[in-house]
Each structure stands twice: as structure tokens, then as C-alpha cells.
Chain A
Amino acid sequence: MIKIEKRNDVSPSIYFLTPILAIFLTLFGGGIIFYVLGFNPLEALKFFFITPISDLYGFSELLVKATPLCLIAIGLSFCFKSNNWNIGAEGQLIFGGIVGGGVALLFYGHDGFYVLPIIILSGAIGGMIFAMIPAVLKTYLNTNEILVSLMLVYVAKLLLDYLVVGPWSNPEGFNFPETRQFSESARMPVLFDGLRIHAGIFITLITVFLSWLILYKTYLGFQIKVSGLSLKTAKYAGYKGKTMIIIVFMISGACAGLAGVGEITGPIGQLHRNISPDYGFTAIIVAFLGRLNPVGIIFASLIVALTYLGAETAQIFLQVPKYTGQVFQGMILFFLLGSDYLLFFKIKFLGLKKNEL
């Protein structure tokens, strides 16, 4: 006999244990999929999750990928906590990259310590402005933010495509769809020789700390959390809902823009068509897996970054498409959401009672 009972309160240990359960279930599910496709599941999983980080270079690559994921997810957690569904972070990342990249091209050939900070700042502002479109439309014209933010992703991608093919393309680039390589002064410093890990990781860590401060130590953070839990309560308490919607979108847009500018000044070093392997979408999963908690998001970003690396390794060794990573990312979110059931309900395994025999 199985009996399902509603829990009266959520125990914090289960709250942070279910993401781990979800990860194990994902490994299991992934193993089954590999088996069905005709691979040895254990070997395939090893290529996916262990081979990529078995050396120092791999570990550095993990951090390179986790840097933007963590940053975007932190921003998104502000939106999701207050029930604002910004799912267009990918567009905000690209637009931030475009603005930052434009400034970097403007400063082409300039030296000076001020160049990089200006680029980074303009990237953040770019992402912020782009995120304000769905926010303003939502607050003042009642438009669904999910659809608007998503449609703008396509617009940003096409704008980037236009710029790198047309006006911003490298004059000596033989018509390749890419800009010039940015000057040295416009590049994120690399932390160790021979590895790609760059100073962007500090931006991410500082943002994580600031977010923790805002969310847990300020009145604004309190308002955000209350609005997420109960819109009615927030209204009764007299919070300015409209201002808050715009603020959370601005924060998440700025974070996505920072991630974009970090990518183009860091590992990429120029603008081209594919400056992001869907980091903006994947960060949604990171935000949930990290329970919208700054520290949780750090761990989640490392795990999800591993699915990117794993997909690349598996592409080489198993000849599976790089989209395999998305299968794992989708599964993590499925299992995570599903296991949340355990937060609110107790499953009791009862023995058969005597009178039932």
C-alpha cells in the first residue's frame, strides 16, 4: 500500500536534496537513451561527464562555460523569484554583445586601462535596455513577457547577423561573417597561460555576492520574494509592482549583457554569428537547478556547464550531435520539477493492515 499525504511544511534538507536526486535520475535516464541508441551506457556516460574534466585544461573549460551560465542565471533568479518570466536572456546576451562589441570596434587600436571597463559597462547597459522592452510592454501595455522576450531573441540574432555580414565585417576579412579581432586592450585578461579561463569569472563572482546582498539583506529583495510568493500580499503591502517588474528585468538583462560582453572580449575576441551556444536558454535550467539561490546557482552552473563539455566530447568520441547536451539539460529540468512533488507531499509505504488480509 502506498499512501500520499500533503506535507504541512517544507523541510529545508529535502529542498536542497531533490536537485541531487534529479541529477542522479538524469544520469540514469541518459544511460537508458545511450543504451537505446546502441552505446555502452557506462562508457558513454564516462565520455560525457568524466573525460571532459579529467585534466587541468578541461577543468578550466568547465569554468569558462560556467562563467556566463552562472551570471545569466543569477539575473534570471530575480525575475523568476518575482514571477516574471523573462525567457529571452539569449537575446539580451546577444544585444549586450553587440553593444559591447560595437564599442570595442570603436576603440580599435586604442590602448589604455579604461577601454575594457567601458566595453563591459556598455555591454551591461545594452542587455539592460533590451530587457526593458518586454518589461515596459508588460507593465504599461499588459503584453505577455514570455512571448515578447522570446521573439526579441530572434530579432537580436538577425541584427547580429546583419552587422557581422554588413557594416561591421572585417575590412581585411575576405567577406567572412565576422568583425576584426579586438585590440589587446579590449580583451579580458587570461588568468593562466595556456588556459582560456579569464577575468570574467570575477565579474560573475562579484555579481553572485551582490545578488545575495540584494536578495537577502535589502528591502527590495524582500519585496521581490513576497511578490513571488503572493501577488495579493504584495498589493496589500503597497509595493510598487510596476517599478519592481522593470527593476528585475533590468537586473537580469544587465547580467545577460555582461555575460555576452564577457564572451566576446574573453574566449571569442571578436563578433561573429554564433557568439553563444544558447547560454541564455540553458541558464533558465541553471536558475531552477540552483533553486534560485545564489550559492545553489554556482553549483548548478558547474553541473550544466559539464553537459556542454560532455556533448562536445561525446560528439568527438561517439559521433552524437552536439544537441545531445540539450537532451540532458531538458531531462535535468524534468526530473527536478518532478521531484519537487516530494517537497509538498509525503509518500508513505504502509504494510497491509490485518483487516485487509
Chain B
Amino acid sequence: MSFDLNFIGILIGAIMASSVPLILAASGELITERSGVLNLGVEGMMIIGAISGFALMVVTDNLFLAVIGSMISGLIISIIFGVLTQSLLTNHVATGLALTIFGIGMSAMIGKNFVGIPGKEFPLLFINLKENIPFLGPILFGHSVILYFAFLLPFLTNYFLKKTKIGLIIRAVGDSPTSASNQGINVTLVRYSCILYGGAMCGLAGAYLSLIYTPQWIENMTGGRGWIALALVVFATWSPIKVLIGALIFGGITILQLHMQAVGLRIPVQLLSALPYIMTVIVLVVISRDSRKIKLNTPTSLGQIFYKEK
């Protein structure tokens, strides 16, 4: 393979595209977890977003409605999780698992009539700039609006959590719900909002898959990306900027793996496909080894049930 700068640019562009669903879902889940709620239903909310987006695109023929609709569906499905964990005080881990199982089943039921329908072309921005500027063109231009949003999102999230009052409240609720509650903050309301926001972002992540990345509906098409997004939040030690870096690393592994398969290296395809999952485990081990660092950054009340005596 000859060394071609433009080819490397295209490769980086592809890595960016494959990291988008991870960035969106992980950024959403990060806010949820910062408020002290562990929602393991990311995979389920993503797949619901994927089918809702695709179905709305087919039915309404309007991509804008499809994208908005996918976010609303993600939000609606996360309400189930909210009601159970916040109002009925159920265990976060078990409820999140139920949400994933339910979401995968539900999406297949809704998607039954949408299998095999071709997707629609999603408008990409600055196409001519992409083609006319070597190397930087394919990196910076010719992407969907959702990709640009996804790459802004970690910075927005960082600013929101660190510099705004609502961000401070969310962190306070996550670190010490009892004292936050004593300060007059409605802990349940804050946590509900964060859960719904996380749901909407996961819905959008799913829509990116079914509308842009691989524009079609396939059962179970998220293929574990929701779980990798969850791992990314731990990997990033709950910092939004590190989510971006982590997502790019995982996007890189995915694309690299595809290219290695295409080039025909004498490594079993399955080993290459397993790379992202094996890497996740290795990265988690490396990150978690320093238990002090994890403890310092983990929202203190993560996954714990908060109940206020009335």
C-alpha cells in the first residue's frame, strides 16, 4: 500500500464517523451517571432510537422529523427506567438490563415491516470542500450535521457541568443526594431530567446508525455499541473530553479492523472483530487499576437508591 496523505485523511474521516454513536450515547450516559443514576439500558435505548428514526424516515419521508422522533423515542423509553428507579425505587442494574432486553425485543417487533427497505441519502455538508482540499478535506468536511454536533457535544457537556449552575446541581445530586436534598434541591426531579436527557442522546446515537452510518434497518444493529459506550464513561473517568478521546480510539480500532480484513491479512476475521471488545476489557483494567483515581472521580452515589422520608 503506497503512502497516500489523502487516503489517511479519508481513514481519519471514517474513524470520526464510526465514533459518533459512541460519543453521543456516552455523553448522554455521562450526564445520567453524574446525577448518581447508573442506566445499563443504553443498548436498548439506542436500538429503539435506531428503529424509530428509520421507521419515521420511511413513513414521513422527512429526515428532520426522523431525527427528532428518534430522540423523543429514546426519551420515552427512558421514562420507564425513570419511573422504576426514581419513583418505585428499583435496583438500577436490574432495571437497566430489563430495559435493554425489552428495547431489543420491541425494536424487532416495530421493525418487522422495515427490514430490507433501502435508506435515504442523508445530506452531507461541504461536499465540494471535502473533494478539493487534500488530507484536511475528508477530515473536516463532507460529514452530516449530527457528526459536527457530536464532536461539539463533549465540550458543551464539559462547560455545562463545570460552569453552569444546573451543572453544579447535577454534580451535587450525584455526589451527595442527601445534602443536596437538604439544600432544597429536588433530587428526584434532577435525576429524572438526567435520565430523560440520556435517553434522548442514546436515541440520537441509534438514529445515526440507521439513518447515516449504515442507512437501513437490521435487527440488533447496534451490536453492542451501547455497552461499549457504557465502558467509555468509566474509561473517561466521567470526564466529557476523555469520552471524545476514548470514542475516537474505539472508532479507530473498528475502522482499522475493517481495513485489515479488506487488505486480507492472515489473521482470522473473528479475532479482528473481537478486537474492540478485548480492547475494552484491557482499557478498563488499565484505567481501574488505580482504585484511588476511580474513587475520586466516580459520582459518589452512583447506582444507589435515594429515598426521602416524607
Contacts and interface: CB of A to CB of B under 8 A. Distances in A.
A282 to B, nearest CB: 8
A218 interface: no
B274 interface: yes
Contacts of A152: 277, 281
A323 interface: yes
A323 B218 CA distance: 13
A109 interface: no
B221 interface: no
A326 B280 contact: no
A338 B95 CA distance: 9
Contacts of B80: 334
Contact of A147 (B103, B230, B274): B230
B145 interface: no
Interface of chain B, helix or strand or loop or mixed? helix
Contacts of A191: none
B84 interface: yes
A320 B108 CA distance: 9
B181 interface: no
B202 to A, nearest CB: 16
A284 B294 CA distance: 28
B98 interface: yes
Interface stretch (B18-26, B85-93, B168-176, B238-246): B85-93
A151 B288 contact: no
Contact of B280 (A147, A321, A324, A331): A147
A344 interface: yes
Given A144-B288, A329-B105, A334 B84 contact: yes
Contacts of A327: 102, 105-106, 109
B125 interface: no
Nearest to A151: B277
A31 B300 CA distance: 41
B94 interface: yes
Contact of A158 (B95, B109, B111, B274): B274
Nearest to A323: B108
B294 A142 contact: yes
B76 interface: no
A323 B103 contact: no
A151 B227 contact: yes
Contacts of B111: 321
Contacts of A150: 227
B76 to A, nearest CB: 14
A87 B96 CA distance: 12
Interface string B263-304: 000001111011001101100110011010010000000000
A148 B109 contact: no
A43 to B, nearest CB: 17
Interface residues of A, number: 48
A283 to B, nearest CB: 11
Interface string A56-91: 000000000000000000000000000001010000
Contacts of B100: 330
Interface in A314-348: 319-321, 323-331, 333-334, 337-338, 340-341, 344
A282 B227 CA distance: 17
Interface in A6-49: 6, 33, 37
Given A87-B97, A330-B103, A338-B90, A162 B224 contact: no
A323 B112 CA distance: 10
B102 A331 contact: yes
Given A147-B234, A158-B271, A334-B98, A141 B105 contact: no
A323 B40 contact: no
Q: Which of A143, A165, A285, A320 has the most CB of B within 10 A?
A: A143
The 5 closest A-B pairs by CB, nearest first: A330-B102, A326-B105, A323-B108, A333-B98, A327-B105
Given A158-B270, A158-B274, 17 more contacts: A33-B109, A85-B93, A154-B277, A158-B271, A166-B268, A281-B97, A281-B101, A323-B105, A323-B108, A323-B109, A324-B109, A327-B102, A330-B102, A333-B94, A333-B98, A334-B99, A337-B91
Interface of B: 40, 80, 83-84, 88-91, 93-95, 97-109, 111-112, 219, 224, 227, 230-231, 234, 268-271, 273-274, 277-278, 280-281, 284-285, 288-289, 291, 294, 309
13 contacts: A6-B309, A137-B284, A137-B285, A141-B285, A141-B288, A154-B277, A284-B97, A324-B105, A330-B102, A333-B98, A337-B91, A337-B98, A338-B88
